[in-house]
């Protein structure tokens, strides 16, 4: 039985090696956390990142605190969830969003409409009471939701207000952001107050909407007041004369606990109070989005002008955007290598956990054949949850960052490993299994020495499927701040820059191929000799 | 030869109901005396394989009594019972990921024999079944012909010094030329090792050639038991008479 033990030992050894690696990483990660450090978050659009970068640079220059940046969190719910759970300490938020989306308060229209100062007063009071969070001084500009149309459409239909739009809505093509479609201060309110009924409605990423409007493929879109791209694409903003959109003053939203621990934050961020009007913000957004100046540079230059100093970051004379794709990849190699490492780590930890759960479960179900299909189908349902939704479900329990991403990838890895383990073990050559039993092997020996080795190639195939799925899905982890190769993909999508998207997408695809090849090699080594296909 | 006082295998009034209502055996009694070979002959579905498997507890009777060497089969652990009984199937049942040597040494290792003894026994058995040990011990089943694989299966069934062997169509998958040789050689191995055999076959010729007695089965019952001559001289039913005329059971 020596080589039986050998085979088992190989499997067990492999599993332990992975777990050991995972533990080392987790411990290393945990011990490096929390040393007078604040985490600044942002939503996944340019202005939010830009403001967050300003906050970060200001904190770094005015205090002794270390700053960790967790930008690009996917939407209000995830960003606010992260703040609530303490995964981030502050992020730029808009008072109107706080009022309508987070507090669920009704927007009064017409003469009862609240002024910006009143809205600020309400959110300050309510956030302090309900969430122990503080709204610091607003930056001075309002970035409201607006409904815009192309100039050609505005002139053809003589559109001035959103009410005018509601009269011709059946004849126009609409594209709205996904969040906008669900918000009370968005399409929901527009339907209710104006009776707007878009017939031809597409959900679309913000940066793509502008491109589509510029190309004449859509007529109506939601925009932010301060978007630099409104100017570029010559859009006309329709008046919200019935007050669906409340005032949206941008301000740092900070955890109360963080502020009590580091009161210097309020002083530092206070320097930004009322320093930017709409046109100033629109100009900064244009630099970032249209000229593609790095947000670090835009933020640094602005802060330097603000305090009358020279910019800390030099504006590069020849910007990155003129580089060819390969030159760009080369210039980004440091970041990409780090992102590839993070990506691999997320996948590796998830797969190890997946194997540790799904493999024993598959063996267990073999003995419970009557309930096996039910259980496996139940696990299969997990596979049908859209990735971004599953990632979002994780946030209340696990916050943002690597933990929820690993948890989601783990859940996705279960089904292929479980299905293949069960099928491989149960379907192992019935003649070989019967003879092993008939000659006196115990059921444990039959499992270890016959079923498991015969199933090894099928189990490995399941693991390879799981690995390829994980490498692909992990690109979405960037939406919840876990980093990885999804980061350039998300940024590229927002900047509508194919080159940046590809700088994440191509390495991710190559990584999937490499991981599959690596596991293929492992499969050939684990495939018992004597089976068809082994060396 | 018919020492009825001490049969090595004995079944009395055995019934087997499978879940789903199939009544596979309907009160069957049969015995194999020490040194004897008995053949179970019948169509597929007649219950002959089911009856065979009650002796090593691959099938548990719903009712009735099954004894091996005078002891009820369910008196101890099934694994220990099985290690004392050889078992050979029709299809190659060797473990494909094990070498020939390891396959043959399976039961001795399960019995806890010291390694040297296992090795010696493996070589003996390979030599007995006509496979040069040095040439075959490290090969894998897929590297052998069908006939060679069945020889290894015989060696494996006999390696643990079992005194009784259950065989389920052991020659069924072999091509006709090899089949004949193997049957002849099997008679020699049987004499050399002094084993008793219960064998399932649909081939009456094989049964007549190898078995001391033949039990004809149909629909879960034994119609008649006797030597080939007894069956042909006094067939109990027209089915048995028919069978003898055709020489082979239709499958």
- Distance set, CA A313 to CA A157, A297, A316 (Å): 47, 6, 9
* pLDDT at residue A321, as a whole number: 54
Give the N- to C-terminal CA distance of chain B in Å, as an integer: 32
**Least confident range of A323-332, A379-388, B159-168:** A323-332
Q: Which residues pair with B68 in a beta bridge?
A: B9, B71
Highest-confidence segment of A365-369, B105-109, B184-188: B105-109
Total domains in the fold of chain B: 1
- DSSP assigned state of A102: I
- Residue A503 near residue A332, CB atoms below 8 Å: yes
Residues of B in contact with A429 (CB under 8 A): 96
Q: Which residue has the higher pLDDT, A266 or A90?
A: A90
* pLDDT at residue A535, as a whole number: 45
pLDDT of residue A29 exceeding 60: no
- A145-238: in CATH 3.40.50.300: no
* pLDDT at residue B4, as a whole number: 46
Q: What is the DSSP string of B34-69?
A: TT-EEEEEE-TTSSHHHHHHHTTTSS--SEEEEEET
Mean pLDDT (whole number) for B211-228: 92
**Least confident range of A377-391, A511-525, B214-228:** A377-391
Interface contact A442, partner B, CB < 8 A: yes
Q: Which of A429, A432, A440 sits opposite B79 (nearest CB)?
A: A440
Q: Which of A382, A330, A366, A339 is nearest to A484 (CA)?
A: A339
Are residues A432 and B94, on separate chains, in Cβ contact within 8 Å?
Answer: yes
- Top residue of B89, B93, B152, B155 to mutate, by most chain A CBs within 10 Å, is B93
When pLDDT is cut at 50, 70 and 90, the band that residue A316 belongs to is: very low
Q: Which of A441, A4, A437, A447 is nearest to B111 (CA)?
A: A441
Residues of A70-101 as b/e, b for ≥16 C-beta within 10 angstroms? bbbbbbbbbbbbbbbeebbbbbbbbbbbbbbb
* pLDDT at residue A385, as a whole number: 87
Find the helix or strand (DSSP H, E) in which A43 lies: strand A37-43
CA dihedral B58, B62, B67, B71 (to 10 degrees): 100
Host domain of residue B44: 1-78+202-251
Are residues A531 and B110, on separate chains, in Cβ contact within 8 Å?
Answer: no
Chain A CA closest to residue B159: A439
Q: Which of A523, A399, A390 is nearest to A469 (CA)?
A: A390
- DSSP assigned state of B26: E
Q: Is residue B115 part of a domain?
A: no
Are residues B95 and A437, on separate chains, in Cβ contact within 8 Å?
Answer: no
| Residue A291: CB atoms within 10 Å | 12
When pLDDT is cut at 50, 70 and 90, the band that residue A317 belongs to is: very low
Q: Chains A, B: CB contacts under 8 A, how many?
A: 69
What is the distance between the alpha carbons of residues A273 and A265, in angstroms, rounded to a whole number?
13
pLDDT digits (tens, 9 = 90+) for B234-245: 888 888 888 888
Q: Which residue has the higher pLDDT, B39 or A180?
A: B39
May I ask the CATH class of domain A2-27+332-526?
A: mainly alpha
Chain A CA closest to residue B156: A439
pLDDT of residue B199 exceeding 50: yes
Q: Is residue B105 part of a domain?
A: no
pLDDT of residue B250 exceeding 80: no
If contacts are CB pairs under 8 Å, which of residues 443-462 in chain A contact chain B? 445, 449-450, 453-454
Q: Could you tell me whether strands B164-168 and B85-88 are parallel, antiparallel, or unpaired per DSSP bridges?
A: parallel
pLDDT of residue A417 exceeding 70: yes
Q: Which of A7, A18, A8 is nearest to A467 (CA)?
A: A18
- Residue A417 near residue A462, CB atoms below 8 Å: yes
Residues of chain A with CATH 3.40.190.10: 34-141+248-322
pLDDT digits (tens, 9 = 90+) for A234-249: 889 898 888 888 888 9
Are residues B89 and A432, on separate chains, in Cβ contact within 8 Å?
Answer: no
Residues of A in contact with B97 (CB under 8 A): 453-454, 528-531
pLDDT of residue A284 exceeding 70: yes
Q: What is the DSSP string of B106-175?
A: HHHHHTT--HHHHHHHHHHHHHHTT--HHHHTT--GGGS-HHHHHHHHHHHHHTT--SEEEEESTTTTS-
- DSSP assigned state of A263: T
pLDDT digits (tens, 9 = 90+) for B179-196: 888 888 899 888 888 899
* pLDDT at residue B85, as a whole number: 95
Mean pLDDT (whole number) for A124-139: 92
Q: Is residue B230 part of a domain?
A: yes
* pLDDT at residue B177, as a whole number: 82
Residues of A in contact with B110 (CB under 8 A): 439-441, 445
Are residues A429 and B110, on separate chains, in Cβ contact within 8 Å?
Answer: no
* pLDDT at residue A403, as a whole number: 86
pLDDT of residue A356 exceeding 80: yes
Are residues A431 and B83, on separate chains, in Cβ contact within 8 Å?
Answer: no
pLDDT of residue B124 exceeding 90: yes
- From B16's Cα to the closest Cα of chain A, the distance in A is 19
Q: Is residue B10 part of a domain?
A: yes
When pLDDT is cut at 50, 70 and 90, the band that residue A314 belongs to is: very low
Interface contact A435, partner B, CB < 8 A: yes
* pLDDT at residue B241, as a whole number: 87
pLDDT digits (tens, 9 = 90+) for A476-534: 888 777 888 988 887 777 666 788 888 889 999 999 999 999 999 988 888 888 776 65
When pLDDT is cut at 50, 70 and 90, the band that residue A107 belongs to is: confident
pLDDT of residue A294 exceeding 60: yes
Q: Could you tell me whether strands A220-224 and A173-176 are parallel, antiparallel, or unpaired per DSSP bridges?
A: parallel
When pLDDT is cut at 50, 70 and 90, the band that residue A444 belongs to is: very high
Q: Which residues pair with A150 in a beta bridge?
A: A235
Residues of A in contact with B166 (CB under 8 A): 438
May I ask the CATH class of domain A34-141+248-322?
A: alpha beta
Residues of chain A with CATH 1.10.3720.10: 2-27+332-526
A487: which 2 tokens? 């980061």
Residues of B in contact with A532 (CB under 8 A): 142
Interface contact A439, partner B, CB < 8 A: yes
Chain B CA closest to residue A443: B79
Residues of A in contact with B79 (CB under 8 A): 440-442
Q: Which of B148, B202, B139, B153 is nearest to B175 (CA)?
A: B148
Q: Which of A435, A453, A532 sits opposite B142 (nearest CB)?
A: A532
Interface contact B195, partner A, CB < 8 A: no
* pLDDT at residue A106, as a whole number: 80
Residues of A in contact with B82 (CB under 8 A): 437-440
- Top residue of A3, A6, A435 to mutate, by most chain B CBs within 10 Å, is A435
What is the distance between the alpha carbons of residues A287 and B181, in angstroms, rounded to a whole number?
91
A160: which 2 tokens? 């001035």
- Residue B57 near residue B75, CB atoms below 8 Å: no
Mean pLDDT (whole number) for B10-18: 92
**Least confident range of A9-18, B26-35, B128-137:** A9-18
Kindly report the CATH number assigned to the domain that includes residue B55.
Answer: 3.40.50.300
Are residues A439 and B106, on separate chains, in Cβ contact within 8 Å?
Answer: yes
Residues of B in contact with A530 (CB under 8 A): 96-99, 140-142
Are residues B97 and A454, on separate chains, in Cβ contact within 8 Å?
Answer: yes
Find the helix or strand (DSSP H, E) in which A222 lies: strand A220-224
* pLDDT at residue A533, as a whole number: 60
Q: Which of A435, A442, A528 sits opposite B93 (nearest CB)?
A: A435
Highest-confidence segment of A293-297, B21-25, B247-251: A293-297
∠ CA B218-B221-B227 to the nearest 5 degrees?
80
Interface contact B29, partner A, CB < 8 A: no
pLDDT digits (tens, 9 = 90+) for A213-238: 888 889 999 988 888 788 788 889 89
Residues of chain A with CATH 3.40.190.120: 145-238
When pLDDT is cut at 50, 70 and 90, the band that residue B1 belongs to is: very low
Q: Which residue has the higher pLDDT, A77 or A437?
A: A437
Are residues A436 and B95, on separate chains, in Cβ contact within 8 Å?
Answer: yes
Chain A CA closest to residue B53: A438
Q: Which of B4, B1, B48 is nearest to B215 (CA)?
A: B48
* pLDDT at residue A111, as a whole number: 61
Q: Which of B89, B106, B107 sits opposite A431 (nearest CB)?
A: B89
Give the N- to C-terminal CA distance of chain A in Å, as an integer: 22
* pLDDT at residue A311, as a whole number: 41
Please state the φ and ψ torsions of residue B180, each to the nearest 5 degrees.
Answer: -65, -45
Interface contact B146, partner A, CB < 8 A: no
């Amino acid at each position: 039985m020596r080589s039986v033990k050998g085979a088992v030992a190989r499997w067990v050894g492999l599993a332990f090696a992975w777990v050991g690696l995972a533990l080392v990483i987790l411990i290393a990660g945990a011990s490096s956390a929390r040393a007078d450090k604040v985490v600044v978050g942002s939503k996944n659009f340019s202005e939010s990142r830009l403001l967050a970068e300003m906050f970060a640079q200001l904190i770094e220059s005015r205090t002794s605190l270390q700053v960790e940046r967790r930008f690009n969190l996917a939407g209000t719910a995830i960003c606010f969830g992260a703040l609530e759970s303490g995964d981030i300490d502050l992020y730029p938020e808009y008072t109107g969003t706080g009022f309508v989306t987070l507090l669920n308060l009704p927007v009064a229209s017409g003469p009862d409409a609240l002024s910006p100062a009143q809205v600020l007063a309400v959110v300050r009071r309510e956030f302090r009471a309900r969430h122990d969070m503080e709204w610091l001084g607003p930056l001075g500009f309002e970035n409201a939701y607006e409904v815009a149309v192309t100039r050609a459409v505005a002139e053809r239909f003589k559109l001035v207000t959103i009410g005018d739009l509601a009269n011709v809505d059946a004849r126009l093509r609409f594209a709205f952001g996904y969040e906008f479609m669900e918000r009370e201060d968005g399409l929901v309110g527009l339907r209710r107050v104006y009776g707007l009924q878009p017939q031809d409605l597409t959900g679309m990423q913000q940066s793509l909407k502008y491109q589509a409007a510029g190309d004449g493929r859509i007529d109506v879109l939601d925009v932010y007041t301060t978007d630099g791209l409104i100017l570029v694409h010559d859009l006309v903003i329709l008046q919200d004369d019935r007050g669906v959109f409340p005032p949206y003053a941008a301000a740092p939203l900070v955890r109360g606990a963080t502020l009590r621990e580091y009161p210097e934050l309020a002083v530092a961020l206070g320097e930004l109070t009322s320093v930017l009007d709409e046109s100033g913000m629109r100009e900064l957004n244009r630099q970032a989005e249209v000229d593609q100046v790095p947000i670090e540079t835009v933020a640094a230059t602005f802060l330097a002008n603000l305090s009358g100093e020279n910019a800390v970051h030099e504006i590069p004379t020849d910007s990155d955007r003129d580089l060819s794709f390969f030159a760009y990849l080369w210039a980004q190699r440091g970041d990409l290598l780090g992102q590839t490492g993070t990506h691999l780590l997320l996948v590796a930890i998830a797969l190890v956990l997946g194997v540790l759960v799904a493999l024993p479960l598959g063996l267990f179900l073999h003995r419970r054949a009557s309930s096996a299909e039910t259980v496996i189908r139940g696990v299969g349902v997990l596979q049908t949850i859209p990735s971004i939704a599953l990632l979002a479900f994780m946030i209340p329990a696990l916050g943002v960052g690597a933990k929820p991403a690993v948890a989601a990838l783990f859940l996705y890895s279960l089904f292929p490993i479980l299905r293949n383990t069960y099928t491989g073990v149960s379907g192992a050559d019935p003649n070989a299994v019967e003879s092993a039993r008939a000659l006196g092997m115990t059921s444990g020996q039959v499992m270890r020495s016959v079923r498991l080795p015969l199933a090894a190639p099928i189990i490995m195939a399941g693991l390879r499927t799981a690995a390829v799925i994980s490498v692909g899905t992990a690109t979405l982890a960037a939406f919840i701040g876990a980093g990885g190769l999804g980061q350039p993909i998300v940024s590229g999508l927002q900047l509508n820059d194919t080159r940046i998207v590809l700088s994440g997408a191509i390495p991710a695809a190559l990584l999937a191929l490499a991981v599959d090849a690596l596991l293929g090699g492992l499969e050939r080594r684990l495939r018992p000799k004597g089976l068809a296909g082994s060396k | 030869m018919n020492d009825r006082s001490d049969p090595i295998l004995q079944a009395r009034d055995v019934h087997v109901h499978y879940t789903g209502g199939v009544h596979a055996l309907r009160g069957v009694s049969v015995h194999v005396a020490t040194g004897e070979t008995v053949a179970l002959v019948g169509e597929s579905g007649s219950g002959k394989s089911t009856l065979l498997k009650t002796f090593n507890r691959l099938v548990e009777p719903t009712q009735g009594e099954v004894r091996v060497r005078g002891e009820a089969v369910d008196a101890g652990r099934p694994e220990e019972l099985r290690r004392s009984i050889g078992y050979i199937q029709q299809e190659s049942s060797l473990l494909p990921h094990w070498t020939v040597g390891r396959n043959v040494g399976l039961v001795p290792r399960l019995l806890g024999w010291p390694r040297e003894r296992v090795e010696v026994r493996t070589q003996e058995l390979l030599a007995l079944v006509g496979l040069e040990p040095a040439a075959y011990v490290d090969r894998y089943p897929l590297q052998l012909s069908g006939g060679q694989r069945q020889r290894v299966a015989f060696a494996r069934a006999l390696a643990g010094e079992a005194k009784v062997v259950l065989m389920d169509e052991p020659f069924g998958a072999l091509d006709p030329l090899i089949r004949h040789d193997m049957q002849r050689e099997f008679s020699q191995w049987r004499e050399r090792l002094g084993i008793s055999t219960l064998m399932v076959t649909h081939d009456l010729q094989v049964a007549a050639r190898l078995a001391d007695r033949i039990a004809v089965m149909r629909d879960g019952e034994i119609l008649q038991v006797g030597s080939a001559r007894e069956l042909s001289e006094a067939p109990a039913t027209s089915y048995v008479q028919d069978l003898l005329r055709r020489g082979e059971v239709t499958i």
